[in-house]
C-alpha cells in the first residue's frame, strides 16, 4: 500500500514555491494611468503581474520568506503566521502549483511583455508624446 503524500512531501517536491513570493490583489486596469502604473511595477526586478483564471489581477513580489530553510521547510513552523497555518494539509489538493492547471491565466515579468500583450489586445495604453 502506497503511503499518502503529505503537504510537507509536496512542498519539498516543488521547492516550497508558495513561500518564495508575496502577491496582493490589485484592481483590474481600466485606463492609461492604470496600465502605466503596472508598466512601472514591471520595470522593477523580481516584480510580476498576473491574471488568475477567474480574471483577478495581482501584483507579485518574488522574495523568499526569511523563515524558509534550505531544505524547503519552515524554520518557524510552530510559530508561523496564520496565513501559513491556514495553508494546511487540505491544501494538498488546493495548492496552486500542484496538478496540470496553471495558477495563471496570464503572467508578465517585464514591461515589454505587458506592452506586447496590450498591443495584441488592441488596448490603447500609450500616452501622447510631449513636444519640445
HEC profile for the chain? CCCCCCHHHHHHHHCCHHHCEEEEEECCCCCHHHHHHHHHHHCCCCEEEEECCCCCEEEEEECCCCCECCCCCECCHHHCCHHHHCCCHHHHHCCCCCCCCCCCCEEECCHHHHHHHHHHCCCCCCCCCCCC
Q: What is the pTM of this model?
A: 0.80
- Residue-range domain boundaries for the chain: 7-120
Q: What is the pLDDT of residues 82-98, one digit of tens each?
A: 888 777 555 445 666 66
What pLDDT, in 10s, does the model give residues 26-55? 999 999 999 999 999 999 999 999 999 999
Amino acid at each position: 500500500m502506497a503511503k499518502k503524500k503529505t503537504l510537507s512531501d509536496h512542498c519539498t517536491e516543488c521547492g516550497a514555491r508558495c513561500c518564495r513570493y508575496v502577491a496582493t490583489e490589485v484592481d483590474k486596469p481600466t485606463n492609461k494611468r492604470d496600465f502605466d502604473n503596472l508598466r512601472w511595477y514591471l520595470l522593477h526586478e523580481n516584480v510580476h503581474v498576473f491574471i488568475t483564471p477567474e480574471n483577478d489581477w495581482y501584483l507579485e513580489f518574488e522574495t523568499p520568506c526569511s523563515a524558509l530553510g534550505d531544505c524547503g521547510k519552515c524554520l518557524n513552523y510552530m510559530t508561523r503566521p496564520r496565513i501559513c497555518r491556514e495553508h494546511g494539509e487540505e491544501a494538498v489538493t488546493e495548492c496552486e502549483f500542484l496538478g496540470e492547471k496553471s495558477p495563471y491565466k496570464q503572467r508578465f515579468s517585464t514591461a515589454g511583455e505587458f506592452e506586447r500583450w496590450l498591443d495584441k489586445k488592441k488596448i490603447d495604453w500609450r500616452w501622447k508624446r510631449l513636444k519640445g
